[in-house]
Amino acid sequence: ERYRRANLEILEVIHSELPGSTVERASIDEVFVDVTALVDEELKSVDSLREGKVFAWNSVIVGDVPLRAADASAIRLAIGAKIASRVRGAIRTICGYTSSAGIAHNKLLAKVGSALHKPDQQTLIHPDCVPLLMQELPLRKLGRLGGKLGESLELLIKASATEGVSRTSPDDDLVRSLKVSDILRINTENLVACLGPERAAMVASLARG
């Protein structure tokens, strides 16, 4: 009950700070916020052609990718980081709670980013660093790849890595070392045969961020 009350307090702050933005509850202590319209509005007063770096608002930048002012993605993410920093500050001031945030161009990466540098930090993921991120991200850390789907992928990756070995329960050490990018090593025909064409395409898309 205390968590539910706290969640409602935080949602009130988010809606107050970001009027008109779409807010989607993901769990009792996690939300997705689409700030595209706010970024578009602020871009009207930003000179995207100026030189130099863009301020990241104390965000941890995955892969240390430099945010250049001439890079449209960098500018949009930097404005998103500014918004996240403002909202997190309001949550701390009004509610007394620290929070973490992920700033990215889609929900999948934003969720990954929010969990990378806890507690009380925000993480920015530029598209250029996504391949490197997926090479390092443990398979079980990516949302939507849990349960039986995750187990099926672990078995397929193991079979790809040990050609000619029968598919048995995944070795614990191997499974712990699996990365999201390992999904792309699975033969496409095997992936489709195991998951069906639609789920196979979805999984391959997730593996690319």
Q: What is the pLDDT of residues 117-169, one digit of tens each?
A: 999 999 999 999 999 999 999 988 887 787 888 888 888 888 876 654 444 45
What pLDDT, in 10s, does the model give residues 33-55?
A: 999 999 999 988 765 445 677 89
Angstrom CA distances, 96 to 6, 91, 92, 101, 114, stand at: 10, 7, 4, 16, 19
Strand partners, 27: 30
Cα separation values, 49 from 52, 53, 54, 75, 141, Å: 10, 11, 12, 10, 37
Pairing state of beta strands 101-103 and 30-34?
A: unpaired
Nearest C-alpha neighbor of 131 from the set 81, 183, 174, 176: 183
| First-to-last C-alpha distance (Å) of the chain | 35
User: Tokens 């980013």 belong to which residue?
Assistant: 113
Tens-digit pLDDT profile for residues 101-117: 999 999 999 999 999 99
